[in-house]
């Protein structure tokens, strides 16, 4: 009996360990975000968190929007939430933006703990990172980089707003807007977002710098610091930087040209104000969510452009969502290569492997499918314009937070659909697909056949 008992305990421990290891990493990641949303929802329901009581559905929507760094709001953040409630929202944004796994990895390192195989895979899923051996350094870099950038943004905004709002209010505004901007959340403390500062260069340039820094991706900045030269950058970093510059430049010129004479947007502004407003509207759809112009007053052509920008999103391992800029570029290169009948796709003297192309295609198709299904059900549940529904769905899946005014009038079913879209958008459609589809190994192969396409 003395020998049997330890052996029995060992067997039980092994069974428990095996059960833990067999858990799907995407499931654990999704569960972590869900738990954080639930905790946030409960905290926002506390009497001290609101100026007047809100419903459970409103609390859940707000917490989901904060954790998924979306920014869509069914209640006025500045009016309905107290300082405590707004602080809770800021904390949820920070946790959801930088990532739960970043905090988990750094905490374990600080405590001297060891991270096992399962935890490494979960962190890998959270970071969208392929090399688990460098996760520790990546996690620490994320924390350091975030702290430095947010500190700079906080100081600039707090000092700038001190004359207008007073030091006490300006400090909190600097804190809240810095976290919201850097994490690409788009939450604002006024119902008109940043529209009062449409032609203010300090606010425009500071806020856009914050969400561009967060949306590029932490690996870009780490690579830049390490290489310190353009030649030393990885092909991914070069692709992401060039892609971001080109997309932002095209969007800037397009918004400026389309909205120039629109009396509801750029028309009344000075020339410098028009360029600042065009710049802000060109870069904010890449999942930032702030706006300095009335989104529902934009021309339809500008709205169509914003839909594309929201769908593309930012960079991998960033606070942004969407299919990602590099994914979009890989699809363009794959299409161009096929039309030219090239046998391989090259980028910066490197060949792109087929798995990367397949991943880009799968991610895009899943995103399109989820968007179409959500639009279909929103059309059934909501009494609203088709364009408003499409805009809301794409904004939610891209965790952007821009809206044409539909959010506050959503039905219960509509709110549930948007909540699900925000969750899927932050978790990542591809990660969701990994979770839903169990991997399988084929033991039998069939003859290759050709199908007529197009």
Per-residue three-class SS string for 57-84: HHHHHHHHHHHCCCCCCCCCHHHHECHH
Q: Is the pLDDT of residue 97 over 80?
A: yes
pLDDT on residue 171: 96
Asked if residue 451 belongs to a domain, the reply is no
Residue 321 has pLDDT above 90, yes or no: no
Backbone angles phi, psi at 446, to 5 degrees: -115, 160
pLDDT of res. 10: 45
pLDDT of residue 318: 75
| pLDDT band for position 168 (cuts 50, 70, 90) | very high
pLDDT digits (tens, 9 = 90+) for 243-294: 999 999 999 999 999 999 999 999 999 999 999 999 999 999 988 889 999 9
258 in any annotated domain: yes
Which of 21-30, 142-151, 236-245, 442-451 is least confident?
A: 21-30
Q: Is residue 16 part of a domain?
A: no
Over residues 360-372, mean pLDDT: 91
Distance CA 146, CA 218 (A): 9
Q: Which of 267, 266, 276, 290 has its CA nearest to residue 194? A: 290
Q: Which pLDDT belongs to residue 54?
A: 94
Report, as an integer, the average pLDDT of 336-353.
85
Q: What is the pLDDT of residue 121?
A: 63
Residue 316 has pLDDT above 70, yes or no: yes
* pLDDT value at residue 106: 59
How large is the average pLDDT for residues 288-303?
94
In a domain, residue 14? The reply is no
Write out pLDDT tens, residues 183-212: 999 899 998 999 999 999 999 999 999 999
**What local confidence, expressed as pLDDT, does residue 3 receive?**
45
Q: Dig out the tokens for 109 from the structure.
A: 């390192």
Expressed as residue numbers, the domain containing 149 is: 21-434
* Segment 63-82 mean pLDDT: 94
The predicted pLDDT at position 40 comes to: 96
Split at pLDDT 50, 70, 90, the class of 7 is very low
Report the C-alpha gap between 50 and 73 in whole angstroms: 14
Looking at per-residue confidence, does 169 or 136 come out higher? Answer: 169
Q: Indicate whether 10 belongs to any domain.
A: no
Residue 417 to residues 62, 276, 329, Cα–Cα distance (Å): 14, 34, 29
Closest to 86 in 3D by CA, of 187, 178, 211: 187
Give residue 347's pLDDT band: very low, low, confident or very high (50, 70, 90).
Answer: confident
Q: What phi-psi label fits residue 75: left (phi over 0), alpha (psi between -120 and 50 degrees) or beta?
A: beta
CA distances 215 to 182, 221, 361, Å, are 8, 11, 22
Rounded to two decimals, the pTM is 0.86
CA distance linking residue 40 with residue 91, whole number of Å: 9
Instruction: Please state the rounded mean pLDDT for residues 214-222.
Output: 82
Residue 6 in any domain: the answer is: no
pLDDT at 405 > cutoff 70: yes
Which pLDDT value is given to residue 9? 45
Q: What pLDDT is recorded for position 134? A: 63
- Split into its structural domains, the chain has a count of 1
Is 8 part of a structural domain of the chain?
no
% of the chain at pLDDT higher than 70: 81
pLDDT, position 35: 92
User: For residue 38, is pLDDT > 90?
Assistant: yes
Q: Is residue 196 part of a domain?
A: yes
- The string of pLDDT tens digits covering residues 111-126 is 555 666 666 666 665 5
């Amino acid at each position: 009996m003395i020998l049997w008992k330890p052996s029995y305990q060992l067997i039980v421990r092994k069974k428990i360990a095996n059960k833990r290891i067999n858990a799907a990493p995407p499931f654990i990641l999704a569960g972590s975000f869900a738990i954080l949303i639930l905790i946030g929802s409960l905290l926002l329901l506390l009497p001290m968190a609101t100026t007047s009581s809100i419903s459970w559905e409103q609390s859940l929507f707000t917490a989901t929007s904060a954790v998924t760094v979306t920014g869509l709001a069914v209640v006025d953040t500045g009016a309905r939430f107290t300082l405590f409630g707004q602080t809770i929202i800021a904390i949820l944004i920070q946790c959801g933006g930088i990532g739960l796994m970043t905090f988990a990895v750094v905490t374990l390192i600080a405590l001297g703990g060891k991270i096992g195989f399962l935890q490494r895979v979960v962190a890998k899923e959270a970071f969208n990172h392929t090399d688990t051996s460098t996760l520790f350094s990546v996690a620490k870099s994320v924390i350091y980089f975030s702290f430095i950038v947010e500190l700079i943004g906080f100081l600039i905004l707090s000092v700038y707003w001190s004359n207008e709002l007073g030091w006490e209010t300006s400090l909190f505004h600097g804190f809240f807007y810095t976290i919201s901007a850097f994490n690409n959340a788009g939450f604002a403390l006024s119902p008109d977002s940043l529209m009062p500062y449409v032609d203010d260069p300090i606010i425009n340039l500071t806020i856009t710098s914050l969400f561009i820094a967060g949306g590029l991706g932490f690996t870009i900045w780490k690579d830049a610091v390490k290489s310190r030269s353009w030649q030393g950058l990885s092909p991914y970093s070069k692709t992401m930087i060039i892609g971001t510059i080109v997309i932002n430049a095209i969007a800037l010129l397009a918004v400026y040209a389309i909205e120039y004479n629109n009396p509801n947007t750029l028309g009344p502004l000075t020339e410098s104000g028009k360029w600042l407003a065009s710049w802000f509207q060109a870069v904010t759809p890449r999942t930032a969510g702030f706006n300095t112009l009335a989104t529902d007053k934009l021309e339809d052509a500008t709205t169509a452009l914003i839909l594309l920008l929201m769908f593309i999103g930012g960079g991998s391992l960033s606070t942004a969502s969407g299919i990602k800029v590099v994914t979009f570029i890989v699809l363009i290169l794959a299409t161009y290569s096929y039309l030219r009948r090239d046998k391989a796709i090259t980028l910066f003297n490197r060949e792109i492997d087929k798995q990367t192309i397949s991943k880009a295609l799968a991610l895009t198709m899943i995103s399109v499918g989820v968007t179409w299904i959500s639009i279909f059900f929103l059309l059934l549940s909501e009494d609203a314009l088709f364009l408003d529904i499409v805009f809301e769905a794409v904004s939610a899946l891209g965790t952007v937070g821009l809206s044409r005014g539909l959010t506050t009038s959503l039905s219960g079913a509509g709110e549930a659909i948007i909540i699900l879209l925000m969750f899927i958008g932050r978790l990542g459609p591809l990660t969701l697909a990994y979770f839903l589809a169990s991997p399988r190994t084929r033991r039998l192969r069939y003859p290759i056949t050709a199908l007529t396409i197009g």
